[in-house]
Amino acid sequence: MSDGIRRDGSVLIAGASLAGLRAAQGLREGGFTGSVLMVGEELHYPYDRPPLSKQVLAGEWPPERTALTDRARLDALGVDLHLGRRAEALDAEARRVTLDDGTVLEVDGVVVATGARPRRLPGSDGAARAAVVRTLDDAERLRAAIVAAGPGCRVVVVGAGFIGSEVAATCAGLGCAVSVVESMATPLAPAVGERVGAACGALHARHGVELRTGVTVADVRPQSADARTGAGTGGAPLEVVLGDGTSLVADVVVVGIGVVANVEWLEGSGLEIGDGVVCDHALFAADGVVAAGDVCRWTWRHHGEEESARIEHWEIAAQMGTAAARSLLAGRRLAEPFDPVPYFWSDQYGLRVQMLGRPAPTDEVAVVDGALDAEDASFVVIYGRRGRLSAALAVSRPRQLMAFRPLLVAGASWEEALGLLAGRA
């Protein structure tokens, strides 16, 4: 195992989003005085993604409000940022990176923060106004398509996960006629369990959004001319053909069925790849090479357990970028394990869904505040595994939720978690 990189050496950060930016900041905070080169495929400075499906899509925020930094702050940080550039190859042993313009760089350390890209539906890639929401440009294009379609724009969202649900809620707030198609019988079941997933899915109906579950999308295609009725001003409508033989007409289709880690450029690098860059407990993929953000699959050691995890949360990406920088400076021999308490939030229909921890589908579930079918749609549930608290989720009850964080840090028992809110106002 190696010691850390030289404080006056060189580091290349592949990826110019949240995790990459936090890695650069972490290097400087850790006393690194050498050169920091960051390359990003997009033409934007690092920006915040959570507002894209909400405030940006709704037109409440101008795109520039999402910026996490600017040229002046990067210059002050001593980061040499190259936009519109991407890493195309890595020799991990030599720490040699080849960029898409042919530039070859040999550095002391590499941070892999290339993120992930949205999954696509067969037949949706070339269809007009079929959209995903991952980048700032995606959000702007989607909003432009909705505006062009005019009042009552018909939106079909494929996927009732958190991103799909946020897009559906935002579009409903814009006055669109929204339908959501979900292949699973219960939305979000793998992430939050059947009971909580059903409660989250019920939010759509409460706000006039049609939810179709247990059905797949077979095709997305332009609607035939003789079948067109009530098309908006944005152009010919689309036909979303479902696996049960029915179809939906849409002015805009949004695909939100998860993401794929951007690891193709690492083929032949010497790194282990498996649904992400496989890293150890301290985020090392190899000596002098760390990973952070959505692309990273690390060995998560917590409370005597160990699992291979890749978590696509804003908070994890931020913490991981900082931790990856610390690890790179410390080296594999001295680096500390990355052991976070995962935190996630989602804003839908004026409600905030928040989760601490990482539940498994087979976890025990208990409602400890409110009710899943409460009229105000707010509640708190906790999850337990092998006699220990594993996660907590709340809808619009942030104070009660955060009371469980110290218990998750301490590895509290299921019984202790069950009694936490008892008797509280």
User: For the chain, where do the domains classified as CATH 3.50.50.60 start and end?
Assistant: 10-117+259-330, 130-255
Asked if residues 67 and 81 have their Cβ atoms less than 8 Å apart, the reply is no
Q: Which amino acid is at 327?
A: S
- What is residue 273's DSSP assignment? B
Instruction: Give the pLDDT of residue 120.
Output: 87
Q: Which amino acid is at 376?
A: D
Instruction: Give the pLDDT of residue 88.
Output: 97
Q: Which fold has domain 130-255?
A: FAD/NAD(P)-binding domain (3.50.50)
**352: Cβ contacts below 8 Å, ≥ 6 apart:** 345, 346, 395, 396, 398
Beta bridge partners of 67: 47
Asked if residues 307 and 337 have their Cβ atoms less than 8 Å apart, the reply is no
CATH number (3.30.300.20, 3.40.718.10, 3.40.50.720, 3.30.390.30) of 350-419 reads 3.30.390.30
Low-confidence ranges of the chain (pLDDT < 70): 1-2, 122-129, 225-235, 423-425
d(CA 211, CA 157): 9
Instruction: Give the pLDDT of residue 375.
Output: 86
- Between strands 247-250 and 104-106, the pairing is unpaired
User: For the chain, where do the domains classified as CATH 3.30.390.30 start and end?
Assistant: 350-419
d(CA 302, CA 292): 18
**Domain spanning 10-117+259-330: CATH superfamily:** FAD/NAD(P)-binding domain (3.50.50.60)
Beta bridge partners of 118: 259
Closest CA to 351 of 328, 371, 374, 378: 378
Instruction: Give the pLDDT of residue 224.
Output: 74
**In 8-92, which ranges are E strands?**
10-14, 35-40, 79-83, 87-91
Structure tokens given for 174: 């814009």
Asked if residues 48 and 22 have their Cβ atoms less than 8 Å apart, the reply is no
pLDDT tens profile 140-172: 999 999 999 999 999 999 999 999 999 999 999
Instruction: Give the pLDDT of residue 180.
Output: 98
Instruction: Give the pLDDT of residue 3.
Output: 82
pLDDT tens profile 328-354: 999 999 999 999 999 999 999 999 999
